[in-house]
């Protein structure tokens, strides 16, 4: 059974695309067949983070409008087997997507035997974001530990339960997960950031994982690598945990408190 997952947030710049890239790569590494679709038509980013921007010939809009086949447009990842990317168009805008067209693409992907279809939503709550979540079975809401991001996530959670196909048909509601990114325990302690508990308390969504704020995420993005592949880094471990928990594994949450500096580290000023 294919699972359609939307990665959404409401607010921009919180790490949706980074999370989409890493979760897709993580699931593919586990042996699942994964397609990740960039819904941010006009502002495509996913292909950059996945490092395949020079291999885009046909894009999502071409497929939706019947100008190319799905096979032509799916870009196979060079590092991981079973991982395919459907890039967004840079030259069109979100009006180029239709509900029916998107539905056809998702149906075709299901028929092709994809285990996971990851929809990387654009920011906002307008048409693009609503199309990205319309066909979803599950949603991963990405939030930063600050007030406006949490508020926007709350809004998008409301829309998930009101405007999705599942809501319209009266089916089982979309399963919601929360990913907290750019988490900095030191800044939480000083009160500059919201604590994870406060965010969960307000949103009432099960926490899938916390990704610590780190330079590695930026470096990985700039070099066109999903950060989950930078093994050894905190962010990669955090995303690996998230993938495991998403697949049903019970794992203790990490990166919630600041590491105590050891005596040697203190002495050598590290």
Partner 1 sequence: MSKIIDLKGSILSLTVLHIHSEDIEQTKQALAAKVEQAPDFFVGVPVVIEPHVELKDPTFLALLVEYFYQLQLIPVGIRTQDKAIQEQAAYAGLAVFPAEKKKKAKEKAERKVEGPGEPTTAMTVNGSVRSGQQIYAKQRDLIVMGSVNPGAEIVADGHVHVFGKIMGKVFAGSAGMTEAKIFAKELNPELVCIAGMYQLSEDIEPQYKQGFVEISLKDDKLVFNTEILN
Binding site for partner 1 (CB under 8 A): 125, 151-152, 154-155, 157-159, 161-162, 202, 204
Whether the CB-CB separation of 181 and 14 falls below 8 Å is answered with: yes
Supply the minimum distance, in Å, between the C-beta of residue 126 and partner 1. Answer: 13
Supply the minimum distance, in Å, between the C-beta of residue 148 and partner 1. Answer: 10
Residue found under tokens 């809501």: 167
138-143 and 34-38 beta bridge pairing: unpaired
Whether the CB-CB separation of 269 and 196 falls below 8 Å is answered with: no
**What is the length of the chain?**
270
Residue from 233, 175, 177 nearest 209 by CA: 177
Minimum CB distance to partner 1 smaller for 31 or for 173: 173
Supply the minimum distance, in Å, between the C-beta of residue 184 and partner 1. Answer: 23
Residue found under tokens 């005596």: 263
Minimum CB distance to partner 1 smaller for 38 or for 152: 152
Q: How far is CA 217 from CA 17, 101, 211, 212, in A?
A: 11, 34, 10, 9
Minimum CB distance to partner 1 smaller for 24 or for 153: 153
Supply the minimum distance, in Å, between the C-beta of residue 205 and partner 1. Answer: 10
Angle between helices 16-29 and 234-246 (to 10 degrees): 70
> Does an H or E element contain 164, and which?
none
Supply the minimum distance, in Å, between the C-beta of residue 118 and partner 1. Answer: 24
Supply the minimum distance, in Å, between the C-beta of residue 141 and partner 1. Answer: 11
Supply the minimum distance, in Å, between the C-beta of residue 99 and partner 1. Answer: 21
Minimum CB distance to partner 1 smaller for 131 or for 157: 157
Minimum CB distance to partner 1 smaller for 83 or for 150: 150
Minimum CB distance to partner 1 smaller for 10 or for 209: 10
Minimum CB distance to partner 1 smaller for 59 or for 152: 152
Q: Which two tokens stand for residue 189?
A: 């302690």
Residue found under tokens 């998930």: 160
Angle between helices 196-203 and 147-163 (to 10 degrees): 30
C-alpha 210/C-alpha 255 separation (Å) is: 7
């Amino acid at each position: 059974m294919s699972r359609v997952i939307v990665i959404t947030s409401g607010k921009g710049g919180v790490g949706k695309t980074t999370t989409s890239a890493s979760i897709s790569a993580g699931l593919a590494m586990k042996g699942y067949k994964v397609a990740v679709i960039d819904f941010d038509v006009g502002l495509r980013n996913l292909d950059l983070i996945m490092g395949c921007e020079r291999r885009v010939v046909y894009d999502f809009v071409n497929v939706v409008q019947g100008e190319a086949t799905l096979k032509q447009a799916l870009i196979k990842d060079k590092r991981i087997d079973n991982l395919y990317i459907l890039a967004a168009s840079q030259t069109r805008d979100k009006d180029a997507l239709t509900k029916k067209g998107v539905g056809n693409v998702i149906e075709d992907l299901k028929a092709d035997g994809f285990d996971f279809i990851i929809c990387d939503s654009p920011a906002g709550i307008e048409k693009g974001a609503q199309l990205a979540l319309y066909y979803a079975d599950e949603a991963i809401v990405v939030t930063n530990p600050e007030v406006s991001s949490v508020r926007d996530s709350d809004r998008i959670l409301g829309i998930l339960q009101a405007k999705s196909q599942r809501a319209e048909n009266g089916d089982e509601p979309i399963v919601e997960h929360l990913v907290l990114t750019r988490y900095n325990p030191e800044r939480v302690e000083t009160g500059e950031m919201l604590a994870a508990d406060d965010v969960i308390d307000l949103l009432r969504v099960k926490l899938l994982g916390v990704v610590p704020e780190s330079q590695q995420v930026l470096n990985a993005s700039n070099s066109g690598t999903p950060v989950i592949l930078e093994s050894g880094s905190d962010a990669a471990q955090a995303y690996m945990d998230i993938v495991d928990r998403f697949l049903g594994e019970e794992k203790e949450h990490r990166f919630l408190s600041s590491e105590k500096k050891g005596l040697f580290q203190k002495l050598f000023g590290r």
